[in-house]
Amino acid sequence: MVKTTDITLGTIARDLKKSPSDALVVGVGQGADGPVLLRNPLSAKTAESLSASLSILGITGAADQVHRLPGLPETGAGVLVLAGVGKVADDAPLSEEALRRAAGSAVRQLAGLDSVTLALPTASLADVAAVAEGATLGSYSYTEHRSSKDGLKDPVGKVRIYTEFDGSAVQPVLDRALLVGRAVNATRTLVNQPPSHLYPESFADAAKELAKGLPVKVTVWDEKRLEKEGFGGILGVGKGSSRQPRLVKVEYAPAKATKKIALVGKGITFDTGGISIKPALGMGDMKSDMAGAAVVLNTVLAVAGLGLPAKVTAWLCIAENMPSGAAQRPADVLTVYGGKTVEVLNTDAEGRLVMADGIVAASLEQPDAIIDVATLTGAQLIALGNRTAGVMGSDSLTAALKSAADRAGELVWPMPLPEELRASLDSQVADIANIGERHGGMMTAAVFLREFVGKDNEGKQIPWAHVDIAGPSFNNGSAYGYTPKQGTGCTVRTLLAYVEDVLATA
């Protein structure tokens, strides 16, 4: 069973005492002259007294700072919580992302409580949406394989948002936040699954389970069908494992669709590097090498859940990359779906091989755009760090994804595709080699993928973008904001925002 969000969301507009909760959360910002208590439902006298005490209490308003105080009779809550939102200016409203992070951080750090009221300043419905989304993202936990929950705290189960907006106007906002939270948290859970439990066949089963009740069609290629139809990239990577590969197509095709978008996701359920084996240190993190496939799966399910008028298809390219007597070798040549041949110079550059099959398959349906998402290269971390994804491809599409990511509160940065990198992928024996120029390796990998993007009816390359999430998909550090340790679920919100943006401009 793939865990999704169990939190319930509601609103409260006036008397806090009539709807008591375990904790009331109000915001504190970092002002130019010290901490600033943000707009809140406390009485003027209480707010004035509290403001005067912030510095004495050691409260700065820094992002992620959560300070608990005894509850006040007027709040109807057992605990008063002061949550930092980061830097604020007198003449500038809080950004939606600042609200999202403050809400998520508070809910995450208040685990163990059943109910929380969030009284962060919401000047618009978009602000309410950000607070609600932060709450759903911050309520995540992963305890599936614990034999005992001793010492563990259950996530907050009920959140109410203090707002003056009418309930009928707010409800669609809350519904969307819950759906987004479920999609992101399901992605996190898939990434967090140990490779003993998540492998190609069980991943395909999980996709079918998550799709139940939604108007989507799930098609699974097993190893026999993959071989019959010539998916040589997925088969080549998966041949070293006793757990055979899969290709999963998840299609949402509403009758009145006005746009047609294809999403391709890398689904390496565990990556040893194959014969070109990785060092042991950190190899356990390679359970997350299927994050791209989890992202595109849950994006399609979220689009279907919202009933958006766009045909969106996810292609999950799933294999386990293992060394064995049956594994592919460096210098082998495989034939990707569609006929192009690839010389495998390094079996640890396997993600691009499975993605090539998926991109070709997606191209044959001639969508308006193809977006692939993959934990593709260590070079992405070197270039952009642990929290920022790299996006490459058609200029119009990368710009649109950057805009969508900004709106969603996620970090992406466009990178170029220098033409000189293509020559480094030349092979002496095949159409292309799977590795090339080491420096700028993130971009070289994207140049490789571009070779498999098909053409539209006019003979032009289908608009395409590649998103490398090697760093931001998995958090090895401390939890922060609404982001937990390990699987982060990044990029689901960006892709969903992109689909909404495309439809808004259609």
Residues known to be catalytic: 278, 352
Check the annotation: does 289 bind a ligand: yes
**DSSP-assigned beta bridge partners for residue 262:** 313, 370
Distance between CA atoms of residues 473 and 487, nearest Å? 6
Check the annotation: does 271 bind a ligand: yes
Q: Distance from CA of residue 36 to its chain's centroid?
A: 33
Q: Distance from CA of residue 499 to its chain's centroid?
A: 15
Query: What's the DSSP call for residue 16?
Result: G
Beta carbons within 10 angstroms of residue 170's beta carbon: 22
Per DSSP, the residues of 248-275 read EEEEE--TT--EEEEEEEEEEEEE--TT
CA distances from 137 to 6, 156, 181, 206, 470 (A): 11, 11, 5, 21, 20
Distance between CA atoms of residues 106 and 136, nearest Å? 11
| CB-CB contact of 39 with 216 (8 Å) | no
Mapping DSSP onto H, E and C, the string for 268-312 reads EEEECCCCCCCCCCCHHHHHHCCHHHHHHHHHHHHHHHHCCCEEE
| CB-CB contact of 319 with 200 (8 Å) | yes
Nearest CA among 498, 95, 443 for reference residue 299: 498
Distance between CA atoms of residues 247 and 267, nearest Å? 9
- According to DSSP, the β-strands at 217-221 and 246-252 are antiparallel
Check the annotation: does 266 bind a ligand: yes
Beta carbons within 10 angstroms of residue 57's beta carbon: 13
CA distances from 213 to 208, 219, 250, 501 (A): 10, 16, 13, 26
| CB-CB contact of 79 with 96 (8 Å) | no
Check the annotation: does 22 bind a ligand: no
Beta carbons within 10 angstroms of residue 111's beta carbon: 15
- The angle at the Cα of 500, spanning 442 to 479, to the nearest 5 degrees, equals 55
Check the annotation: does 223 bind a ligand: no
**186-200 burial code (b ≥16 CB/10 A, e <16):** bbbbbbbbebeebbb
* Feature table: binding site for Mn(2+): 266, 271, 289, 348, 350
* Feature table: binding site: 266, 271, 289, 348, 350
